[in-house]
Structure 1
Amino acid sequence: MGVKSTPRAHVFRVLWGRLKEHPLSKLGPGLITGVADDDPSGIATYSQAGAQFGLNMLWTMPLTFPLMAAVQLMCANLGRVTGKGLAANIKTAFSPNVLRGVVLLLLIANTLNIAADVAAMGEVAELVSGVNRHFMTAVFVFGTLALQMFVPYHRYVFFLKWLTLSLLAYAAVLFTVHIPWEQVALHTVWPQFTVNASAAAVVVALFGTTISPYLFFWQTSEEVEDMQSPPHSAPLNQDSGSALKELRRIRWDTWSGMLYSNLTAYFIILATAVTLNVAGVTDINTAAQAASALRPLAGDFAYLLFALGILGVGMIGVPVLAGSGAYALSEALGWNEGLERKVRDARGFYGIIAISVLAALAIQYSPISPMKALFWSAVINGVVAVPLMAVIIILVSKKSVMGDFTVSRPLRVLGWIATAVMSAAAVAMFVPG
């Protein structure tokens, strides 16, 4: 006799089936990449921009959206066409020194980012639950590590997609505060601030946390992961039959994911501008500090929404940061890599993930302040992204790499504009005010 299904088990199976058929589950790496961009360190950077400059940094998000989407779309195409991650493609087309330099800088920036993210998550969890922040930080670190190591990618990615809904918390915050929409529209297209080293540093940080190197590696590799998950498919340069459908999917997934990301960043800058800046709070070091500062100004509901959003996106951002570094180093060294593989089949890959998050945890107990590293890690990313974007544009323009699927001229132009804008901002940061 078979085991009779309980009513509760039947309900769970029906619910699970409906969730798997939901349109959200059909979206791919672009959505997760976009949401990972608004990790706790990104939230702190956006909050600092709003607190320090009010509405006058809103213009950065409409500007970065097409530039960010263009770069990420090139990365996604590179992975889907070649069947290889970004580091593996750099390895075949450039000097080993280029790859070593890029991967080293990526690992340093990612570890600082993870340290800042888990510290902010622990602090927020303590604010919301009253449980000690160091304990909660350890829970988040070991929880995300266990999920990455022991849950296959095709299952793990399903939950990551649903976690992306946590970004809606920042749109909801706007309903709890007064918004002077005419002023918002005016300052978005006509900002008023003094151009000096301080403003340039914030602009570089905003660009650096929005157009980030770890996102380049992650989305490229996740296109490869999706190909290797059931049902398996071949790279487009080997099987062009599905090219039209796949490239259309990638365009929709990437543009919509980056729009979701940038709209959220815009809302965070706006929410902190109309609350913190108006109240004279102009120095924000952490996302948790921004949530706490909102409480007396916008009320408990806004505070809770902001705090829960930090925890939700942190659960996406930390795995993406750790995973992107692991993909990059594993591809550079020729190791087995991929979240679909079991730990015993990719020990080096999972070892890098473990070292990254455990080193980030160790920083919480060292003289190094993850809070101070948080803002400047975004600045470092802004500087590092410049040569890396140039490398990506060159790769996706080469027929020897992309075959018949080299990216279009308009996309390359957007990529070069992004590179030029970030180069100018990085130079401006070092010019005395």
Structure 2
Amino acid sequence: MAVFGPGLVVMLADTDVGSIITAGQSGVQWGYKLLLVQVILMPVLYIVQELTVRLGVFTGRGHGELIREAFGPRWAWLSAAGLGVATIGALLTEFSGVAGIGDLYGVPHAVSLPLAVAALLAVVLTGSYRRVERAAIVIGLFELAFFFVAWAARPDLAQMAHESVRMPVLNPTFEYLVAANIGAVIMPWMIFYQQSAIADKKLTVADFKLARWDTAIGAVVTQLVMAAVLIAAAASIRPHAPQASLSTVGQMSQAMTPYLGPQMGKLIFGLGVLGAGMVAAIVASLALAWGLGEVAGYKRSLEHHPLQAKWFYAVYTICVVGGAAMVGFYPNLISLNVGVQVMNALLLPLVLGFLVRLAIVTLPEAHRLKGKYKAVVIVVCAVTCAFGVLGGLGGLIWS
């Protein structure tokens, strides 16, 4: 349990507010037809994040630092730019979720967003990696509420089995949501976070096996949560309101909770969204703070006091405060949730290209990508990028 943490935290953050909206829209628009995609993405997610475990354990360096050392500062800044874009998009979705849950209970944005900011700053400004990790896991476990939501929706198992294997793969709208689901599972800030967290936690070669289990368990849990949201939406909303607009968590909750019980449904759904949004805001903001530090060279560790690593904590604070401010002042940005996931899919060639190349050239010979597994990783990443990019671009063109 001392080794576990980076994988669980990043995977709990993976099922963020944008991912929940994407899974909900998938269920409403296509029923259970995208359910099998969630299962297929489990090993894909593990393969990608396991590379960050290898790189973090065997090099002791974060993702941005390793890119700078292997390929030079220009490529490192390019990767950091992609990270910055993805982080901004993520923070918009996380704080939109917080604002949406506040709306359900009549709490104005001027109250809910500052409270979220205060909580996020309090969690991180402690000067301790382990405290941040434990707090993030506890917050993220609220996402398990979605399993209750899926059970309470009483899905038809026979219909689920029938629809899940009948995918209209040539439909542009379906392809767009496939791309969104891929972007909701593999995000640039996840790769930066897990590798940097492993380095900050100082995991060693002896911890490698357990760190991989940490990642594998997290990959299964996060995709089961995504599947639970999709099932709940397909079972509760689609039969009654198949044209329902689910651009925000508020709209999703209002459409879903009448069939789950107005009070308990709203409470359980709200806890799940808050857990997802808060842990993802921590992870995305820390990923950017770590990534920029690794490229720019400033001190970057949660083991440092805020006065010892001013730039690191300043970047984190700017991310959190800025994300909340953008949602507070421009609430129309809340509807961009699914679009942010498609943007993540379009960034995959850059992100996975760097990751695979680092695993080939920077690892010790015994743990370097090679042989049949190297071919498997390259094929999996190439196919994932193709589905993400082509599906995203195709959906944008047809829309």
Q: Same fold (TM over 0.5)?
A: yes
Tell me the equivalent position of 2:237: 276
Question: Does the alignment pair 1:99 with 2:76?
Answer: yes
Contact 2:342 2:392 in 1 (8 A): no
- Partner of residue 318 from structure 2, selected from 350, 355, 363: 355
Give the deviation of 1:177 after TM superposition.
Answer: 1.8
Displacement of 1:322:
0.3
The residue type paired with residue 266 of structure 1 is A
Q: Is the 8 A contact 2:41 2:182 kept in 1?
A: yes
1:412 and 1:145 mapped to 2: Cα distance?
Answer: 41
1:369-403 Cα offsets, whole Å, 9 max, x none, are: 321322211111111122211211111122x4434
Q: What amino acid does structure 1 have at the position aligned with 2:300? A: E
Equivalent position of 2:36 in the other structure: 59
- 8 Å Cα contact 2:143-2:271 kept in structure 1: no
For residues 246 and 408 of structure 1, the distance between their equivalents in structure 2, rounded to whole angstroms, comes to 22
What is the match of residue 7 of structure 1?
A: none
Q: Does 1:425 align with 2:388?
A: yes
Structure 2 partner of 1:206: 181
Cα distance change on mapping 1:410 and 1:117 into 2, 3 Å: farther
- 2:337 — aligned with what? 374
Deviations 1:17-66 (A, max 9, x none): xxxxxx5x662211111100011121111111111211111121111110
Q: 1:407: how far off?
A: 4.0
Q: 2:200 aligns with which of 209, 212, 225?
A: 225
1:197, 1:430 within 8 Å by CA — same for their partners in 2?
no
Structure 2 residue aligned with 1:251: 212
Residues 13-412 of structure 1 aligned to structure 2 (within 5 Å): 27-128=4-105, 130-188=106-164, 190-193=165-168, 195-227=170-202, 243=205, 245-281=206-242, 282-300=244-262, 301-367=264-330, 369-398=332-361, 400-407=362-369, 409=371, 411-412=373-374
Amino acid at match of 1:140: A
Shift in CA distance, 429/115, structure 1 to aligned 2, threshold 3 Å:
closer
Q: Which secondary structure state, in structure 1, belongs to the residue aligned with residue 170 of structure 2?
A: coil
Partner Cα distance (1:422, 1:268) in 2: 24
8 A contact 2:98–2:113 mirrored in 1: yes
What is the TM-score when the length of structure 2 is the normalising length? 0.92
Residues 180 and 392 of structure 2 are in contact (CA less than 8 Å); yes or no, is this contact kept in structure 1? Answer: no
Between the aligned partners of 2:372 and 2:160, the Cα distance in structure 1 is 30
1:111 touches 1:357 (CA, 8 Å); kept in 2? no
Conserved? CA contact 2:63–2:191, under 8 Å? yes
Aligned residues: 393
Q: Deviations for 1:274-314, whole angstroms, at most 9, x for unmatched residues? A: 11112224421122321221121222323321111111122
**Do the aligned residues in 1 keep the contact of 2:123 with 2:135 (CA within 8 Å)?**
no
CA–CA distance in 1 between the matches of 2:149 and 2:328?
33
**Which stretch has the larger CA shift, 255-264 or 400-409?**
400-409
Most deviating of 419-428 and 387-396: 419-428
Letter in 1 for 2:381: A
Aligned-CA RMSD value: 2.0
In the TM superposition, residue 186 of structure 1 has moved relative to its aligned partner by 2.6
For 1:411 and 1:108, the matched residues in 2 are separated by 31
Distance 1:369 1:411 in 2: 45
CA contact (8 A) 1:383 1:423 kept: no
- 1:379 & 1:114 partners in 2: Cα distance? 15
Q: In 2, are the aligned partners of 1:66 and 1:414 still within 8 Å (CA)?
A: no
More deviation, 174-183/69-78: 174-183
Q: Residues 410 and 40 (structure 1 numbering): CA distance in 2 closer, same or farther, change over 3 Å?
A: farther
TM-score by length of 1: 0.85
Q: CA contact under 8 A between 2:79 and 2:351: conserved in structure 1?
A: yes
CA displacement, residues 402-425 of structure 1 (integer Å, 9 cap, x when unaligned): 343224655534432133222233
